[in-house]
Structure 1
Amino acid sequence: MTEKIFGIHAVQAVLARNPERIKNLYVQRGRGDKRLQEILSLAASASIAVVQRAREELDKMVEGRHQGVVALAEPALEYREKDLPDLVAAAGSAALILVLDGVTDPHNLGACLRSADAAGVTAVVAPKDNSVGLGATVFKVACGAADVVPFIQVTNLARSLQQMQQAGIWVVGMAGEAESSLYERDLKGPVALVLGAEGAGMRRLTRENCDYLAKLPMAGSVSSLNVSVATGICLFEVVRQRQP
């Protein structure tokens, strides 16, 4: 079984980190700009054969902007629900879990994974139902982060939150109606940040299993932020607080 990875950054990230995953590499015939040359150089270093195809042929291979490069690759390392306790234990007091409840847009998931990688997140957790999983669009938007950040889909999110709490993790749910700001909370210890999808937010049972709720202060007329934007802000507030 193979998966399609497309886009300059996504393919370049796999070639740089896990070139053994790439089975076939296709590039747009006649294209020779600097960014593509970097990919060709990485492919040559890993002894990966490159096949040139017309742009129209690449268009038929994927849905989305391929930027002249498509790779067929072995699936990335798949993390399972049973792996979460070990990841949490290994992270210790630095554990930082991002929980996405009901995010169905692959572009948002990809952007969240990219922020999670930059912030040093231990794992990203999402429910299996009514939630998007890893796919070609997610890999493209994540720009390589989907290959390195553990992404775990769980069958029962409420139960997983309870298990995190039992492991000593404080669970913070982001909700616009919360009384206190995220900036008022102590986030230096092991923490899980829970964000819901735009509009609906967190589900009731998810909300009930949070230790406390927090909000981002909003000064304008807009009532909420895109979930990927909110994720970046929240994660880097944790990073800021944990700086020496």
Structure 2
Amino acid sequence: MSDRDRKQRFQRGGGKGPDKGRSSGHRPGGRDREASPDGSVILYGWHTVAAALANPQRRIRKLWLTENAARRLADDKIELRVTPEIVRPDLIDSRLGPDAVHQGLLAEAEPLDSPDINDLAQEGIVLVLDQITDPHNVGAILRSAAAFAVKAIVTTARHSPDATGVLAKSASGALELVPMVTVTNLARALNELNDLGFMTVGLDSEGSKDLGAMPLVQPLALVLGAEGQGLRRLTRETCSAVARLDMPGEIKSLNVSNAAVLALYIGASRLGLMGT
């Protein structure tokens, strides 16, 4: 059977397959500038799809599995929730591109709801991302946030990647665990966090204090800026404090996702949240 025949057979059996492009993984916020026409989210890879299937808040529209992936899900007793379409790996390859490591799983799903900033828990740590646009970095930050029990990630509707595709894969299931709050104006959102009693600490290499040496209190919001640009001026001015991450080596700056891990470790340690 030719690739064309297999593709036609697959389409007759389960529809046309997932649309390419990115869509918002959380509503609302207008982050669907590259969304698929029906507003769906594309999820692929073992941890990403398995976590979505385990999340009762995530509505799965369609599910494509290879025979091996379907067998593994059954062995792990993961409920599918929808009837899957069993397909060859190359059909998933053709929809995601040759660089996507899908491990035989591809799902089309509804975006998750975006909580309101006023509904955030008044405890623990929140991360705020100031125009971090690389989906790999944001996905890695999400994964670290889940590891440190971060209550939410606040990001902007514009100049941030959509919570789908590469970002979801990089997050390795954390997209289902850490709520993402989408705002239109970050400075206004920081002011709201200040009013709610959050200690808002911007991380900047020019910060006047070392994060590891300054007193920290809950609820804490750690604010991260994009690599190169760092925090924007208004963002920096709106934070209640600006701190740096002191390191003993010759290189004094880190990739933003690595800086997030270090800042979370310092924050969680200083707040007594480790091991809780």
* TM surpasses 0.5: yes
Residues 187 and 37 (structure 1), Cα distance of their counterparts in 2 relative to 1, 3 Å cut: farther
Residues 167 and 19 (structure 1), Cα distance of their counterparts in 2 relative to 1, 3 Å cut: closer
Conservation of the 8 A alpha-carbon contact between 1:16 and 1:42: no
Residues 213 and 178 (structure 1), Cα distance of their counterparts in 2 relative to 1, 3 Å cut: same
What root-mean-square deviation, in Å, do the aligned CA atoms of Structure 1 and Structure 2 show? 2.1
Q: Which runs of 5+ in 1 are unaligned?
A: none
Alpha-carbon offset, residue 73 of structure 1: 1.9
Q: Does 1:200 pair with 2:229?
A: yes
Residues 66 and 19 (structure 1), Cα distance of their counterparts in 2 relative to 1, 3 Å cut: farther
1:134-213 alignment runs, 5 A limit: 134-213=163-242
Which residue is 2:85 aligned to? 51
TM-score (structure 2 length as normaliser): 0.77
Conservation of the 8 A alpha-carbon contact between 2:50 and 2:78: no
Which residue is 2:267 aligned to? 238
The structure in which a higher percent of residues are helix is: 1
TM-score (structure 1 length as normaliser): 0.87
SS in 1 for 2:150: coil
State the alpha-carbon separation in 2 of the partners of residues 50 and 157 from structure 1.
Answer: 40
Which residue is 2:51 aligned to? 13
State the alpha-carbon separation in 2 of the partners of residues 97 and 19 from structure 1.
Answer: 21
SS in 2 for 1:72: strand
1:83-162 alignment runs, 5 A limit: 83-87=116-120, 91-92=121-122, 94-162=123-191
Q: Which runs of 5+ in 2 are unaligned?
A: 1-37
Conservation of the 8 A alpha-carbon contact between 1:4 and 1:62: no
Tell me how many residue pairs correspond in the alignment. 233
Tell me the percent identity: 38
- Residue 79 of structure 1: which of 87, 91, 114 is its match? 114
State the alpha-carbon separation in 2 of the partners of residues 85 and 107 from structure 1.
Answer: 28
Alpha-carbon offset, residue 21 of structure 1: 2.2
Alpha-carbon offset, residue 132 of structure 1: 1.7
Conservation of the 8 A alpha-carbon contact between 1:127 and 1:154: yes
- Residue 222 of structure 1: which of 232, 251, 262 is its match? 251
State the alpha-carbon separation in 1 of the partners of residues 79 and 185 from structure 2.
Answer: 44
Alpha-carbon offset, residue 190 of structure 1: 1.4
Conservation of the 8 A alpha-carbon contact between 1:19 and 1:46: no
State the alpha-carbon separation in 2 of the partners of residues 138 and 43 from structure 1.
Answer: 26
State the alpha-carbon separation in 2 of the partners of residues 46 and 67 from structure 1.
Answer: 16
SS in 2 for 1:184: coil
